[in-house]
Amino acid sequence: MRYGVYLHIPFCRKKCAYCDFPSQVGTKAAMADYTAALCREIRARGPEIAAYGPGATAYIGGGTPTALPISLLSRILLTLKAVLPFSPEAEVTVEVNPGTVDLETLTALHTLGVTRLSVGAQSFEDRLLARIGRIHTAQAIRDTVRWARAAGFTDVSLDLMYGLPGQTIEDVRRSVETAIDLAPTHISVYGLTVEEGTPFAAEEAAGTLRLPAEEDTEAMYDYLTRILPRYGFARYEIANFARPGFMSRHNLSYWTDVPYAGFGAAAHSYWDGRRMVNEPDIAAYIDAVQSGRFPAREEEPATRKNQMEEFCFLALRTARGLSRAKFAAKFGCSLDSVYHATLQDLRAKGLLEEAADSVRLTERGMKFGNVAFRAFLLDGER
């Protein structure tokens, strides 16, 4: 059975001003305790998962996995490999933030079997990096990519952000050009959203957060989604662009109904059609694992209606779109019997198009994804 594994590392050197991900600044002792608990969880739950055969993908994300000392990160990767063997062609990604790695760390990760790095660049403008609370400069991003190559990595992804306070379309252009010069295999683009409880939310409430005008943010989005394919990065998901053969197989599994097992605080799992989430509080997670308690709780079982909606939302994020055959195989009824009017309406609005046996969002549909996704919400049970 094809499946993926996710490991969550909930530590960062410093919290960014926009971030509401489950992560915090950690002490060395907390990181060591967390690593011990995570390895214990992998050893406890891993064999049951390994019984399904070798894993196809692993993703170590956060937080900032490289906020951990390499000795701890190595222990986690070695435990993972010992308990859960991966196929020889498995994709093993580690999220890396500039300013937390050097050539030695990246060489160690490569030696440990990591095949792909996802680098949190966000922008190549130092004033914007400082404004959003990143710990690094543009030069640190360049150094990270240079060291990654020297360490032997050929698959390197860069994250870029748009809609940042004080950002102009010219800033976005310069960042894209600098990113392209670094020859990544994959680029993800994210628009800033102001999340509750973050420093940016407090600034917004105080009236001091100066975001670009809506039409400028839209121009940044239009520019990014137009220019990246011209540079040879095909858009394979709403926010993701890749050179041929370099789509993130792990992330694709989230959108295409492939099971995955998550380990660590706040990690999600999707296994046997059930969704589970681990205890999010780091201390409570460590406590639970240390006392031999399984730190996951099952999320409210999804109704058939919710499963249909979610299946559609996720598949529609991808350029391949929503397969009629897969929908029918999963739910025992045709897509058109459930969504006939929705499909017709979205096609008429230019948000959806037919492609072989599937329907997919048009460029316009991807831009106004929320409108399209809302239309897939169903009334009543199925």
- Tell me which of 8, 46, 49, 64 binds ligand SF4, using CB under 6 A: 64
For residue 12, state whether it binds ligand SF4 (rule: CB under 6 A).
Answer: yes
State the first-to-last Cα distance of the chain, in angstroms, to the nearest integer: 29
> In the complex with ligand SF4, which residue's Cβ is closer, 15 or 243?
15
What is the Cα–Cα distance from 71 to 69, expressed in whole angstroms?
5
What is the Cα–Cα distance from 222 to 211, expressed in whole angstroms?
17
> In the complex with ligand SF4, which residue's Cβ is closer, 55 or 120?
120
Least spacing, CB of residue 13 vs ligand SF4, in Å: 8
Distances (CA, A) of 190 to 123, 224, 238: 11, 10, 10
Question: Any residues with CB less than 8 A from the CB of 116 and at least 6 apart, and which?
Answer: 91, 92, 93, 94, 153, 155, 156, 157, 248
For residue 144, state whether it binds ligand SF4 (rule: CB under 6 A).
Answer: no
> In the complex with ligand SF4, which residue's Cβ is closer, 16 or 141?
16
Q: Output the six-digit token pair for 329.
A: 């195989």
Q: Using CB under 6 A, which residues numbered 233 to 252 contact ligand SF4?
A: none
> In the complex with ligand SF4, which residue's Cβ is closer, 161 or 176?
161
Secondary structure E strands in the chain: 4-9, 11-12, 24-25, 55-62, 86-96, 116-122, 155-162, 186-191, 234-237, 240-242, 260-263, 268-271, 274-278, 296-298, 322-323, 352-355, 358-361
For residue 63, state whether it binds ligand SF4 (rule: CB under 6 A).
Answer: yes
Least spacing, CB of residue 17 vs ligand SF4, in Å: 9
- Tell me which of 19, 128, 158, 308 binds ligand SF4, using CB under 6 A: 19
Least spacing, CB of residue 161 vs ligand SF4, in Å: 10
Using alpha carbons, select from 95, 99, 105, 188 the residue that is nearest to residue 138: 99
For residue 7, state whether it binds ligand SF4 (rule: CB under 6 A).
Answer: no
- Tell me which of 46, 62, 163, 184 binds ligand SF4, using CB under 6 A: 62
Contact by Cβ (8 Å): 380, 305: yes
Kindly give the residue spans of alpha helices, DSSP state H, lying in 51-206: 70-83, 103-111, 126-131, 138-151, 169-181, 199-206
Kindly state the number of chain residues that form the binding site for ligand SF4, as judged by CB under 6 A.
Answer: 11
For residue 157, state whether it binds ligand SF4 (rule: CB under 6 A).
Answer: no
What count of Cα atoms within 13 Å lies in the side-chain half-sphere of residue 174? 11
Of the candidate spans 8-16, 41-49, 224-232, 343-351, the one that interacts with ligand SF4 by CB under 6 A turns out to be 8-16
- Tell me which of 5, 7, 9, 16 binds ligand SF4, using CB under 6 A: 16
- Tell me which of 3, 7, 23, 198 binds ligand SF4, using CB under 6 A: 23
What is the Cα–Cα distance from 67 to 143, expressed in whole angstroms?
17
> In the complex with ligand SF4, which residue's Cβ is closer, 135 or 234?
135
Of the candidate spans 12-20, 38-46, 214-222, 351-359, the one that interacts with ligand SF4 by CB under 6 A turns out to be 12-20
What is the Cα–Cα distance from 125 to 175, expressed in whole angstroms?
7
Of the candidate spans 15-23, 51-59, 204-212, 262-270, the one that interacts with ligand SF4 by CB under 6 A turns out to be 15-23
Residues engaged in binding ligand SF4 (CB under 6 A): 12, 15-16, 19, 21, 23, 62-64, 97, 120
